[in-house]
């Protein structure tokens, strides 16, 4: 597969918006997942440590504690995933806070591998204000992720930013992110998903604040949502049609491990019900 340019993707996105169709991004940690997602019509595919960990049977949160491994894994997954994706842009999840990583060099390596762009994953954005300040003081804060997006934007690569609050969304939009993702936390459901999420009012307030902050910096930025209770198409449709300014959805476990678990369990149970009648 050849890389998809930023201009081509933004043209596709503009057309979908004009047709009132949701923009759908999906996460892939192995080749077959990416292939199925492209067949289904995914608008962009995101490859990161979290997706790979889900394919290993672990929860996505485990990726937050494997920062150095995250960046080397992206290069390892490129020959497995990129050759079988024909026309969908594939973005690389970069751990901008890896202490020994040079952001420009890492972006260059992702582009040379064949990725069409980058996004900030794993992210430290989910930390509370106390820990966030301490991470910033030692040079491992969310500001490194903002730098990642700004540098990649300067290279004219596709950029997607995972944001956990309004301030992050505004800063990422100012840095040039093409896509802002309102991250509502780990997805509930599945064998390794969390059991509790934000309630309805918290989700609405957080999402609306992220949309306002992002659009305040860039009126044309595309805003997606992810995580929390958004584990199935119906929940996503309800949220997208209840909050003005949301353009679509980024599915991590909702588009890889959860449907995979459901399908495999259902089919395996069907085989297990086979009876031998004898002769």
User: Per-residue DSSP letters for 48-75?
Assistant: -HHHHHHHTT--GGGGGG-HHHHHHHHH
Instruction: Please tell me what DSSP assigns to residue 228.
Output: T
Phi-psi region of 3 (alpha: psi -120 to 50; beta: other; left: phi over 0): beta
Dig out the tokens for 57 from the structure.
Answer: 């049977």
Instruction: Please tell me what DSSP assigns to residue 84.
Output: G
Q: What is the pLDDT of residue 276?
A: 87
β-pair partners for 23: 248
Rounded distance between C-alpha atoms, residue 166 and residue 180, angstroms: 11
pLDDT tens digits for range 31-84: 999 999 999 999 999 999 878 778 766 655 555 555 557 788 899 999 999 999
Q: What is the pLDDT of residue 130?
A: 55
Say how many CA atoms lie within 13 Å of 249 toward its Cβ: 25
Q: Measure the N-to-C terminal CA separation of the chain; round to a whole number of Å.
A: 53
Domains of the chain: 6-258 (3.20.20.70)
Rounded distance between C-alpha atoms, residue 160 and residue 247, angstroms: 14
β-pair partners for 196: none
SS3 142: helix
Crossing angle for the helix pair 142-154 and 129-137, nearest 10 degrees? Answer: 70
Q: What is the pLDDT of residue 256?
A: 86
Dig out the tokens for 38 from the structure.
Answer: 């492209």
Q: Confirm if 5 and 12 have CB atoms less than 8 A apart.
A: no
What average pLDDT does this structure show over 131-142? Answer: 69
pTM, whole model, 2 decimals? 0.90
Crossing angle for the helix pair 142-154 and 166-175, nearest 10 degrees? Answer: 30
More confident residue, 148 or 185: 148
Q: What is the pLDDT of residue 71?
A: 87
Place of tokens 């999840």: 93
Crossing angle for the helix pair 200-217 and 166-175, nearest 10 degrees? Answer: 30
| 205 has pLDDT over 70 | yes
| 129 has pLDDT over 90 | no
Summary mean pLDDT of the chain: 89
Q: What is the pLDDT of residue 194?
A: 65
pLDDT tens digits for range 234-254: 999 999 999 999 999 999 889
Candidate from 141-145, 194-198, 231-235 with smallest mean pLDDT? 194-198
């Amino acid at each position: 597969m050849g890389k998809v340019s930023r201009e081509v993707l933004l043209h596709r996105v503009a057309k979908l918006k004009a047709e009132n169709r949701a923009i759908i991004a999906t996460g892939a940690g192995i080749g077959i997942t990416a292939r199925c997602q492209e067949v289904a019509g995914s608008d962009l595919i995101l490859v990161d440590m979290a997706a790979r960990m889900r394919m290993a049977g672990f929860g996505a949160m485990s990726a937050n504690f494997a920062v150095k491994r995250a960046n080397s894994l992206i290069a390892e997954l490129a020959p497995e995933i990129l050759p079988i994706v024909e026309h969908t842009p594939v973005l690389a999840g970069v751990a901008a806070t890896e202490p020994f990583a040079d952001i420009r060099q890492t972006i260059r390596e992702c582009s040379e591998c064949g990725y069409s762009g980058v996004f900030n994953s794993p992210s430290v954005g989910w930390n509370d204000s106390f820990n966030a300040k301490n991470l910033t003081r030692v040079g491992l804060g969310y500001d490194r992720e903002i730098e990642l997006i700004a540098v990649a934007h300067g290279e004219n690569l596709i950029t997607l930013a995972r944001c956990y609050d309004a301030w992050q969304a505004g800063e990422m939009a100012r840095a040039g992110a093409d896509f802002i993702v309102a991250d509502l936390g780990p997805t509930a459901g599945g064998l390794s998903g969390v059991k509790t999420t934000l309630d309805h009012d918290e989700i609405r307030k957080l999402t609306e604040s992220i949309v306002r902050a992002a659009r305040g910096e860039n009126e044309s930025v595309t805003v997606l949502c992810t995580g929390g209770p958004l584990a199935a198409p119906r929940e996503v449709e309800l949220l997208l049609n209840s909050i003005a300014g949301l353009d679509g959805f980024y599915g991590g476990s909702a588009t890889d491990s959860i449907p995979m678990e459901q399908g495999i369990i259902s089919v395996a149970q069907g085989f297990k019900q086979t009876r031998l009648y004898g002769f």
